[in-house]
Structures are given as structure tokens and as C-alpha cells.
Amino acid sequence: MKDFGLKKLYYSISEVSKLTDLEQYILRYWETEFEQLNPSKNRAGNRIYTNKDINLILKIKKLLREEKYTIEGAKKILAEPNFSIPAPKIHDLPKTTEVKTSSPDNGQVDSSLRKDLEDIRNFLLDLHSKL
């Protein structure tokens, strides 16, 4: 599995939701269906996703949404020893990232998150163009 060399080691569920363009409840549901998707939790009990987790989520999304597999069919494919599908198409990632602030104090954090997500998207676009 390729390491995209992204800036952060861990991502929150809200960051992964924005990056993958999937609702948080879908990510939580997929954890119950796909044993390979098992993000760690921090001391506060919040999910923390790695680059590997994000890559797996994008592959699951591709199987279910583009390839039109059922959850059971996708499970069988993921369980195959030589499982490999092409990298998700970059257009699967959101074109823009909107981060809503809940308080005026979050402005700097939100702009930092927005920049991180834009950097990740640009990196993946560049990587995809080289494949």
C-alpha cells in the first residue's frame, strides 16, 4: 500500500469525512461492516484515522459506489489475498473544502484545517497525474 506522505499522521473523523466526501455516520457504519477498517481511538475515545485507513475508505467507496458491489461482495474482494484495485479517481475527492466555524475562536484552526485539506488534495492530484 502506498504511503502518500501526507503531512499528518492521524486525522479526525470530521477531517476524513471532508477529505473522502462521505458522511461521518457512513464511516462509522463501514467500521461495523469491514473488519479491515478499524481506526484507533485516542485517550478521549475519538477515532483517529491513518493514511492507510483513508486509502482503504477510498477503495471501499470505489467498490460500493463506482463498481456497484454490494457490501458482501466488497467484503469478499477485500478479503482476497491479492486484493488490488486501481487507486481511486482523484475526482472522488471534494473540489473545495468548506469548514464551518462554531465560534470566533476557531477561525485560525479552521483555516489551518482548510489549508491542510487543500494541500492533501493538491498532493493527490499531482500524484494521480504521475500514475
pLDDT in tens, 15-72: 999 999 999 999 999 999 999 999 999 999 999 999 999 999 999 999 999 999 999 9
8 compared with 129, residue with greater pLDDT: 8
Tens digits of per-residue pLDDT, 97-106? 454 544 455 5
| pLDDT for residue 99 | 47
Q: What topology is assigned to 13-130 in CATH?
A: Multidrug-efflux Transporter Regulator; Chain: A; Domain 2 (1.10.1660)
pLDDT band of 119, cuts 50, 70, 90: confident
* CA angle in degrees (0–180, nearest 5) for 121-5-60: 65
Distance of CA 67 to the CA centre of its chain: 18
* Domain locations along the chain: 13-130
3-state DSSP call for residue 102? coil
Higher pLDDT, 34 or 95: 34
Is 12 a residue whose pLDDT tops 80? yes
Phi, psi of 8 (to 5 degrees): -105, 150
| pLDDT top residue among 28 and 127 | 28
